[in-house]
């Protein structure tokens, strides 16, 4: 029996208002990622012999390092690792503290009280509002961005105040433009650098401003940093916690998903203010029973070997270089990001003498339909599309071929920017 069948039963009447109440599932709006999925399926059907180049995927194209996989196999075989992990093992916490010191020069993190493992950054973002948000409280989010903390804030009867990330402001939020009335009601400020989708990086000066602003308005800062170690061209990875006073105002979320090609493994950590970490631990303890100890041990091995991430960064850096060069030849104004695997470029206005693109989504749909190139559009603050350099390609020659193919497909039309 299908889900639709049950829409006519009492089950449909029982849904909570936060997910749409009795209207749940009847919304005819199709969400962005579903539209992309459908357009990809239609394009493949229309052109079964043409390779679909997928630049839309937000996760690594390769598997985890062989040493990490071997460690998992070894630890998974030990009977003592079989049980509930609860709020985590000391070995992982110590590896995380050492990683913060080695990669980000963050001193003085107490592994016992200031770090806790998470089953990835996403569930941590989903739980943090439970720690802080009462009905009517505000969470400040940045758009375009990763919405999970805002979604849960709304689930709890809180409000979301969106701050736009614009090119003019280097995709950093202008904290001074947040109305005082909002700042005073805000409990949480969500930040994410290097940023998904803009690829922008924060600066020490910006983080210093964040600390001062948070102290002025008594706001808790959540810095979501799953891309923090993926930086390019000698730019040092930057942690919010490396800025004086950061630990007084907030926490940072790290994840092995992107920096260690471990999206499916579900492991990361929260670090920072010990009182926030403690309260988060209490809420977490009521949500999950911890990640499998063998995964924590394999992840600890990964954190002790940050050169694994450096090799991954080198690959993305090389891919970004090629893609930026090709897009600029075509007429885009592409700039290599400081970090992350995302390249965020302004969509063209249209095709010279032809079709107009009213939105980034319009352009992205055109790229899938006509060129079999998949990207993700963002219309929240200007019209941009996001390329991800995690496209499938084994080795440099194959990478070059894929990017040359993009160039070939996009040079038979002239875009108007
Ligand atoms: C900004 C941001 N935060 C969090 C996540 C989720 O990371 P994790 O796999 O650690 O849950 C993602 C994944 O796409 C992301 O882009």
Is there a single domain that holds both residue 213 and residue 197? yes
The mean pLDDT of 70-88, rounded to a whole number, is 97
Tell me, using a 6 A CB cutoff, whether residue 122 lines ligand 1. Answer: yes
- List, for residues 383-404, the tens digit of each pLDDT value: 999 999 999 999 999 999 999 9
Q: Which of 60, 118, 122 to mutate to test the pocket of ligand 1 (most atoms within 8 A of CB)?
A: 122
Q: What is the dihedral of CA 104, 125, 198, 101, to 10 degrees?
A: 0
- List, for residues 102-141, the tens digit of each pLDDT value: 999 999 999 999 999 999 999 999 999 999 999 999 999 9
Q: Which domain holds residue 77?
A: 66-305
**From the CB of residue 282, how many other CB atoms can be counted at a distance below 10 Å?**
11
Looking at the domain assignment, is residue 15 inside a domain?
no
Q: How confident is the model at residue 58 (pLDDT cuts 50, 70, 90)?
A: confident
Q: What is the CATH number of the domain that holds 52?
A: 3.90.1150.10
Residue 28 confidence (pLDDT) above 90: no
Atom 7 in ligand 1: residue holding the nearest Cα = 121
Is there a single domain that holds both residue 284 and residue 392? no
Is there a single domain that holds both residue 159 and residue 226? yes
Is there a single domain that holds both residue 143 and residue 41? no
Tell me, using a 6 A CB cutoff, whether residue 268 lines ligand 1. Answer: yes
Strand 384-388 and strand 342-346: the pairing is: antiparallel
Tell me, using a 6 A CB cutoff, whether residue 257 lines ligand 1. Answer: yes
Distance between CA atoms of residues 25 and 96, nearest Å: 41
Q: Which of 295, 259, 261, 271 is nearest to 119 (CA)?
A: 295
- List, for residues 278-334, the tens digit of each pLDDT value: 999 999 999 999 999 999 999 999 999 999 999 999 999 999 999 999 999 999 999
Alpha helices in 138-228 (DSSP H): 148-155, 180-185, 204-217
Distance between CA atoms of residues 188 and 219, nearest Å: 6
- List, for residues 147-188, the tens digit of each pLDDT value: 999 999 999 999 999 999 999 999 999 999 999 999 999 999
- Note the pLDDT of residue 29: 82
- Note the pLDDT of residue 30: 81
How many domains are contained in the chain? Answer: 2
Centre of ligand 1 from the C-alpha of residue 35, in Å:
21
Atom 2 in ligand 1: residue holding the nearest Cα = 146
Residue after which a domain boundary falls, among 243, 275, 305? 305
Q: Is the peptide bond before 191 cis (omega within 30 degrees of 0)?
A: no
Tell me, using a 6 A CB cutoff, whether residue 150 lines ligand 1. Answer: no
Q: Is the peptide bond before 144 cis (omega within 30 degrees of 0)?
A: yes
Is there a single domain that holds both residue 95 and residue 77? yes
Distance between CA atoms of residues 14 and 7, nearest Å: 11
Residues 142/191, Cβ–Cβ less than 8 Å: yes
- Note the pLDDT of residue 167: 95
Centre of ligand 1 from the C-alpha of residue 356, in Å:
33
Q: Which of 171, 192, 226, 240 to mutate to test the pocket of ligand 1 (most atoms within 8 A of CB)?
A: 226
**SS (HEC) of 120-146:** CHHHHHHHHHHHHCCCCCEEEEEECCC
- Note the pLDDT of residue 104: 98
CA dihedral (262, 264, 269, 270) positive or negative: positive
Is there a single domain that holds both residue 317 and residue 292? no
- List, for residues 332-369, the tens digit of each pLDDT value: 999 999 999 999 999 999 999 999 999 999 999 999 99
- Cα R_g (the chain), whole angstroms: 22
CB under 8 A, 24+ apart: contacts of 235-238: 235/201, 235/338, 235/339, 236/105, 237/103, 237/104, 237/339, 238/104, 238/193, 238/201, 238/202, 238/203, 238/204, 238/207
Centre of ligand 1 from the C-alpha of residue 192, in Å:
10
Residues 232/336, Cβ–Cβ less than 8 Å: yes
Is there a single domain that holds both residue 291 and residue 227? yes
Is there a single domain that holds both residue 220 and residue 139? yes
- List, for residues 234-274, the tens digit of each pLDDT value: 899 999 999 999 999 999 999 999 999 999 999 999 999 99
Cross-strand pairs, 115: 271
- List, for residues 403-413, the tens digit of each pLDDT value: 999 999 999 89
pTM: 0.97
Share the mean pLDDT of the chain. Answer: 97
Tell me, using a 6 A CB cutoff, whether residue 261 lines ligand 1. Answer: no
Q: What is the CATH number of the domain that holds 277?
A: 3.40.640.10
Centre of ligand 1 from the C-alpha of residue 121, in Å:
6
Looking at the domain assignment, is residue 178 inside a domain?
yes
Residue 17 confidence (pLDDT) above 90: yes
Looking at the domain assignment, is residue 371 inside a domain?
yes
Alpha helices in 286-348 (DSSP H): 293-303, 307-330
Kindly give the number of the ligand 1 atom that is closest to the alpha carbon of 146.
Answer: 1
Is there a single domain that holds both residue 301 and residue 318? no
Is there a single domain that holds both residue 292 and residue 385? no
Looking at the domain assignment, is residue 161 inside a domain?
yes
């Amino acid at each position: 029996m299908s889900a639709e069948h049950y829409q006519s039963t009492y089950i449909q009447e029982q849904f909570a208002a936060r997910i749409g109440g009795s209207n749940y599932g009847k919304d005819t709006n199709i969400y962005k990622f579903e539209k992309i999925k459908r357009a990809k399926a239609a394009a493949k059907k229309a052109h079964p012999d043409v390779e679909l180049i997928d630049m839309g995927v937000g996760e690594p194209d390769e598997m985890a390092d062989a040493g990490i996989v071997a460690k998992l196999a070894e630890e998974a075989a030990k009977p003592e690792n079989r049980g509930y992990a609860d709020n985590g093992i000391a070995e992982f916490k110590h590896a995380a503290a050492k990683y913060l010191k080695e990669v980000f020069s963050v001193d003085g993190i107490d592994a016992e009280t200031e770090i806790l493992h998470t089953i990835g950054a996403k569930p941590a973002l989903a739980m943090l509002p439970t720690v802080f948000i009462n009905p009517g409280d505000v969470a400040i989010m940045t758009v375009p961005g990763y919405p999970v903390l805002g979604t849960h804030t709304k689930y709890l009867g809180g409000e979301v105040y969106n701050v736009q990330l614009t090119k003019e402001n280097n995709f950093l939020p202008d904290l001074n433009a947040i109305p005082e009335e909002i700042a005073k009601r805000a409990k949480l400020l969500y930040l994410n650098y290097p940023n998904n989708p803009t690829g922008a990086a924060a600066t020490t000066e910006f983080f210093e401003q964040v600390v001062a602003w948070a102290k002025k308005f008594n706001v808790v800062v959540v810095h979501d940093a799953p891309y923090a170690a993926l930086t390019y061209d000698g730019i040092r990875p930057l942690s919010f916690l490396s800025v004086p006073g950061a630990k007084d105002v907030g926490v940072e979320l790290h994840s092995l998903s992107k920096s260690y090609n471990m999206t499916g493994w579900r492991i990361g950590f929260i670090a920072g203010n010990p009182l926030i970490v403690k309260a988060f631990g209490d809420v977490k303890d009521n949500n999950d029973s911890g990640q499998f100890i063998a995964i924590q041990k394999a992840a600890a091995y990964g954190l002790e070997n940050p050169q694994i991430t450096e090799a991954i960064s080198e690959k993305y850096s090389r891919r970004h270089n090629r893609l930026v060069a090709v897009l600029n030849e075509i007429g885009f104004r592409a700039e290599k990001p400081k970090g992350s695997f995302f390249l965020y470029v302004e969509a063209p206005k249209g095709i010279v003498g032809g079709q107009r693109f009213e939105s980034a989504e319009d352009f992205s749909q055109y790229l899938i339909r006509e060129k079999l190139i998949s990207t993700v559009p963002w219309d929240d603050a200007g019209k941009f599309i996001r390329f991800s350099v995690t496209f499938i390609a084994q080795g440099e020659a194959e990478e070059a071929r894929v990017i040359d193919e993009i160039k070939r497909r996009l040079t038979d039309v002239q875009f108007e920017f």
